[in-house]
Amino acid sequence: MPILVMKFGGTSVATLDRIRRAAKRVGREVANGYDVIVIVSAMAGETNKLVGYVEETSPLFDAREYDAVVSSGENVTAGLMALTLQEMDVPARSWQGWQVPLKTTSAHSSARILEIPTDNILSKFGEGMKVAVVAGFQGVSAENRIATLGRGGSDTTAVAFAAAFGAERCDIYTDVDGVYTTDPRISDKARKLDKIAFEEMLELASLGAKVLQTRSVELAMRYKVRLRVLSSFGDMGDNAGTLVCDEEDIVESNVVAGVAHSRDEAKMTLISVADRPGIAAAIFGPLAEAGVNVDMIVQNISEEGRTDMTFSCPTNQVARAEAAMKKAKDEGIINFHDLVADTDVAKVSVVGIGMRSHAGVAAQMFKALSAEGINIKVITTSEIKISVLIDRKYMELAVQALHDTFELDKAGA
């Protein structure tokens, strides 16, 4: 039997009724002749609630226990989905990550998948089981501890299963009917894309478009998984959604494919550090050891052998970053006058493979932002993206202004 992977995100399993609708969709694919692997997220809001419990209990928590707590939301939906399917006379059972066992690294709270043995589930398919429901977002480390794959990680579970089982397709069911030129919650001019190139999706995801977890796109690209994003709302009929595919399979595309935003950014500046060889390593080494995900970095002009060093990181890692810098200072690894955290910033980015061969995108971006009176605090670029850090209160305005200036509401602009 051909295998299909279907992943249902939090809003798609938010209530028992929504689980029933999703199960009906799964039943249709079983009737179409597939053995189906269903990957489920926790019910909408559950993971946030569990993260809240952990943070309230222990601000600088032990990530192994964080994983023990936050992985539990998916266990509930996996069991409920299997029960719902059984009620519909579809032979199904649930698997938690460790039962597969989905083996991961030991990087708790952002573990990577190492291996997914297929024998266990395949032998059940061989015995007539039609649907394997697997709890997304979780696996087990070599130390036999539960590990999670980072927020949004069920997408990655789904793509990894599709690759491991050679699935015909990996369908990601969510609360929007595909990938848009920007978050449809922010701009009503956002346009649904029928296709998007892996590389563009990868950048959009890593720059904050949470419709797919970055790692899931990386895996799909590497293992040539046919990846589709579609809505679990409406009748879920022949709704084509968006296909994430190779660049060559896209006939017409805009120079800028999309605009992404990331709300939870913080800008941190170390005031007056020594401007000497090795200073960047002395700062960013301890930050990395403390598990801080540094994104943008700017080193300012040096005056009398001292300079300011600015970097950005997720808002919820500010306390970790401060603790790491204080420790490095106490240990004499670095010396600085002050550490200033600005937690009211956001990152807005434009992405497009057309930028490789098209000059002037940055200038147009900066002009559009300046026309709205938006001040840019930090800029970073790569071959196919430009990101700016701005005051968070201007984030929506910036996204809309960029969507307008690059005419993303029109195909082939």
Q: How many CA atoms lie within 13 A of 231 on its CB side?
A: 13
- Alpha carbon distance 256, 406 (integer Å): 7
In this complex, which beta carbon is closest to Mg ion, that of residue 9 or of residue 208?
9
In this complex, which beta carbon is closest to ligand ADP, that of residue 147 or of residue 204?
204
Q: How far is the CB of 325 from ligand ASP (least distance, A)?
A: 28
Residue 208 found at the interface with Mg ion (CB under 5 A) = no
Name which position in 153, 258, 286, 352 contacts ligand ADP (CB under 6 A): 258
Residue 158 found at the interface with ligand ADP (CB under 6 A) = no
Site for ligand ADP in 230-249 (CB under 6 A): none
- β pairing state of 169-174 and 338-351: unpaired
DSSP, collapsed to helix, strand or coil, labels residue 283 as helix
Name which position in 25, 84, 113, 136 contacts ligand ASP (CB under 6 A): 136
Residue with tokens 């009917």: 177
Name which position in 66, 98, 125, 137 contacts ligand ASP (CB under 6 A): 137
Residue 180 found at the interface with ligand ADP (CB under 6 A) = yes
The 385-391 sheet, strands edge to edge: 297-299, 306-314, 258-274, 338-351, 385-391, 378-382
In this structure, what token pair is assigned to residue 163? Answer: 């690759």
Assess contact for 182 and 259: CB atoms under 8 A: yes
Paired with 134 in beta bridges are 39, 95
Smallest CA-to-CA distance from 392 within 380, 408, 405, 374 is with 374
Q: How far is the CB of 344 from ligand ADP (least distance, A)?
A: 21
> Per CB under 6 A, which region of 23-31, 108-116, 149-157, 378-386 contacts ligand ASP?
149-157
Residue 188 CA to its chain's centroid (Å): 22
Name which position in 154, 174, 206, 253 contacts ligand ASP (CB under 6 A): 154
CB atoms within 10 A of CB 397: 16
Name which position in 27, 97, 139, 152 contacts ligand ASP (CB under 6 A): 152
- How many residues interact with ligand ASP (rule CB under 6 A)? 13
Residue 152 found at the interface with ligand ADP (CB under 6 A) = yes
Query: What's the CA angle centered on 45, arms 264 and 43, to 5 degrees?
Result: 135
Taking CB under 5 A as the rule, which mask of x and - marks residues 2-41 in contact with Mg ion? -------x--------------------------------
Q: Which residues bind ligand ADP (CB under 6 A)?
A: 9-12, 41, 152, 174-176, 179-180, 182-185, 204, 209-211, 258
